[in-house]
Each structure stands twice: as structure tokens, then as C-alpha cells.
Amino acid sequence: QNVGYLISEGPDSPHAEAYRVLRTNILFSQKDPKLNTITVVSGGAGEGKSTTTFNLATIFAQNGQRVLVVDSDLRRPSLHKMLRVSNAIGLTNYLLKQNTIEEVIQTTRQSKLDFMPSGKLPSSSMRVLSSQQMKDLIRELKRRYDYVFFDSPPIMGVSDASILSSEVDIVLQVIQYRRYPQQMTIRAK
């Protein structure tokens, strides 16, 4: 079914409860509150990764936590379109030392929810994501926010999502029922 974005549907959206359940499950499985960086991955494109990332972040923010969503899908960034903001400057500009953290973070209409767009897309996103600068950024964002969510490209075929997964604390895999062969989902896992 077509799930919309909770930031526009509001806390009483029929889909909100499913995300609240997911949030509760994440909190139960969280061994230590310091483990607060999360990426959502999937095997192929169009399984609902970006929607899940953003809706989950919205639920955490509605609960009063300070949350940042980073669009680290440097191949096909989509979250800025959903928020109707520019991604002219963002993550890549910070990693390439062209802008400060403050300059690449935007507020959203949901209180306590901030957004960092992808920025202009580099020719090799892998090099940028596996840089020391990225590791330092994750450490700094952990300090500033209660939870940081990273959107990522599909895990099959490119190594960006694998790199991100190795650098954050929690990885969620989204699987759209019968969208891709089961073998692909297992390989992605």
C-alpha cells in the first residue's frame, strides 16, 4: 500500500502507529543509548527505504527527541524533493570542507527534526563516504542529536550502503513483499 510522509499526514495518520511500533522495537533492541545512529538499507530500488527512514525519524521527533535525517544516498537523493527544499549544499559540501555543519543543516516543519541534504553529487560517492571526514562527522552528529538517521542507496551493486552500515550503530533492512526474488533479499542481508 502507498504510505505517505507522516510529516504532512500528522501524528494521527493511519500509518503512524506502525512506525510507533517499529520505534518501540528499536528502543527495546538498543543495548546502549549512545548507539543512536541508524541507517535503513534495502536490496533494490523502490522498496520504501527513504519513506521508512523519514517516517521513523518523524516519529522519534514527535516523541520529543532531537533528530537529524541525513540524505546519504549520493546516487539518487530523494528526501529533499519530498521536503521541497534544495540540495545545492549538503553532506558532500561538508565532507569536501566547503561548508560548516551549521551551513548544511536545515530545519523542517516538524519541531526537533532537522535535515541535511546530500549536496552536489561527487563522481565517486564511495570515496567521500569512507573518508575520515565522514567518520568524524558521524561522531559529531552523535553528540549533537538524540538520533541520526542516514538514508542510503540500494545495497546490491554499489558499496555505499555497505560502507554506511559499517560506520553506524544500527542497520534496518526494508523488504517490500515479493518486489525482488528472495535470494536477492538474503544476499543483501
pLDDT one-digit tens code per residue, 21-30 = 888 888 888 8
- The runs of H, that is alpha helices, within 30-113 are 49-62, 79-83, 91-95, 101-104
User: What pTM did the predictor assign?
Assistant: 0.84
Provide the β-strand partners of residue 151: 40, 71
8 Å CB contact between 133 and 127: no
pLDDT band at 1 (very low <50, low <70, confident <90, very high): very low
pLDDT, tens digit, 9 for 90 and up, residues 117-146: 999 887 766 678 888 999 999 999 999 999
> How many other CB atoms sit within 10 Å of the CB of residue 178?
7
Nine-digit cell string for 57: 525519524
8 Å CB contact between 40 and 46: no
| Percentage of the residues of the chain whose pLDDT score is greater than 70 | 78
Cβ neighbours for 177, distance < 8 A, ≥ 6 positions apart: none
pLDDT band at 114 (very low <50, low <70, confident <90, very high): very high
